[in-house]
Chains A and B, each alone.
Chain A
Amino acid sequence: MGLLENRFDDNIVVEKLDKLLSWARSTSPWFFQFGTACCAIEMMAAAASRHDLMRIGIIPRSSPRQADVMIVAGTVTMKMALRVKKLYEQMADPKYVVAMGSCATSGGPYWQHGYHVLKGVDLVIPVDVYVPGCPPRPEALIEGLLKLQEQILEGRPLTRKMG
């Protein structure tokens, strides 16, 4: 501590820049507003007044270029998988993915016979948080987003390896 000790006034906090950036990111992970199936209804409910995602700094954005988090809400078909991948690629770094519901995590009820369903969105894009449920209640989604916030807070943005 010797170098910095007593060199500043009392109203100055000294911290790592990493932590500042992580803190800023974790408290405003704006999510990309799109839904592929019934989970989207629960996602909308989570964003609406009763559960109010905005109180933890999360608001929907309608463009992938302004979004930090992609909530894959619902069944992803093979046809949609290519679009989901393209949308993910259009998001600016740093970007995070929440797989919401059993369809997005593993194919869900379409695991056995759904010839056209992607068996888990992690086959196409990297997933940070999985939220189980069919569909998960808004509380479950909020729990998942809080976990994501923790994860972002613990991250080290300046030393993170890209690609």
Chain B
Amino acid sequence: MSEDIQVLIDDVVAKALAGDMDPINNIEDRVTRSKAKAALVKAKRSQPETEIKSKDSEVSEHSDVKAKDTIEHIVIASLTKNFSNFLDGEQNGEWIQMKPENWFDIAKHLKENEDLYFDSLQCNTGFDLEGGMLESRYNLHSMKHLHAIEIRIKVSIENPNIPSVESLWRVADWFERETYDMFGINFTGHRDLRRILLPEDWEGWPLRKNYEEQETYHGIVVPKVKEGWE
């Protein structure tokens, strides 16, 4: 490698480290350019401590801003003006934990409020949290503001009633039917709450943790011996 080229490479690497990538990209000769880029990678690797520090400070600055402006906080602030006592426990995740009582009115607010405008229900699904609790989760998205949020509603397994949002988001029709089919969560106010996948005369809720397979189905024996297959 001739000295001229070495000088050139040192120069462009120094400029690139300072944030200006143009000189390195403007090198005509392909070989020299790739050598310069390799030198840049090497130079970056040799000063990792300062890099990490600057990143950390950026993140902490960001998270300060974020803590006030996350969509969860905006939604909670907007809901607090109109509803009381709708939150279930402490809110410290990337979702909102709600009580089932006012859910339909809250969902209507989430959908129709101009600043929130969650016009798309992307998913609704169920969970068995064990310890006698079931959970229904809603993933909402706004086509207008391009923000998204997750709502979680916990109910006890003895009384699994959640107001249906099927009349707000039509897509919730089949989502809720599936959640009902698998977990037995009863969506009150749903206009057509039937099993969607399993036959109508099926017994039990298959995705609950305490589900037990039936002995027979319409006279068809379900074999129970399942050894030697693992």
Interface size, B (range) = 10 to 19
Interface residues of chain A: helix, strand, loop or mixed (majority): loop
Stretch in A34-42, A78-86, A136-144 with 4+ CB within 8 Å of B: A78-86
Interface size on A, residues (CB 8 A): 12
Q: For the complex, would chain B's binding face be called helix, strand, loop or mixed by DSSP majority?
A: loop
Contact yes or no, B229 A111, CB < 8 A:
yes
Cβ contacts under 8 Å, A82 to chain B:
218
The interface bits of chain B over 113-156 (1 if a CB of A lies within 8 angstroms of the residue's CB, else 0) are 00000000000000000000000000000000000000000000
Q: B221–A123 contact, CB under 8 A?
A: yes
Whether B211 and A115, one on each chain, are in contact in the complex, defined by CB atoms closer than 8 angstroms, is: yes
Q: Which of B211-230 contact A (CB under 8 A)?
A: 211, 213, 217-218, 220-223, 226, 229-230
Q: Check: A112 CB closer than 8 A to any chain B CB.
A: yes
User: With A111-B229, A112-B229, A112-B230 known to touch, is A119 a contact of B199 (CB < 8 Å)?
Assistant: no
C-alpha spacing A3/B46, complex, angstroms: 107
A119 to B206, CA, bound (A): 17
Is A147 an interface residue when CB atoms closer than 8 A count as contact? no
Q: Which residues of B contact A118 (CB under 8 A)?
A: 220
From A117, which residue of chain B is reached at the shortest CB distance?
A: B222
Which B-chain residue is minimally distant from A82 (CB atoms)? Answer: B218
Q: Are A78 and B220 in contact (CB under 8 A)?
A: yes
Is the pair B229, A79 in contact by a Cβ cutoff of 8 Å? no
A124 part of interface (Cβ distance < 8 Å): yes
A51 at the interface (CB under 8 A from B): no
C-alpha gap A111/B221 in the complex (Å):
13
Whether B222 lies near A119 (C-beta < 8 A) is yes
In the complex, B198 has a CB within 8 A of chain A: yes
B221 to chain A: which residues have CB within 8 Å? 123
Q: A78-B202, A111-B229 provided; 12 other pairs, C-beta below 8 A?
A: A78-B199, A78-B217, A78-B218, A81-B220, A112-B226, A112-B230, A115-B206, A115-B211, A115-B213, A118-B220, A119-B222, A123-B221
Residue positions of A touching B, CB distance < 8 A: 78-79, 81-82, 111-112, 115-116, 118-119, 123-124
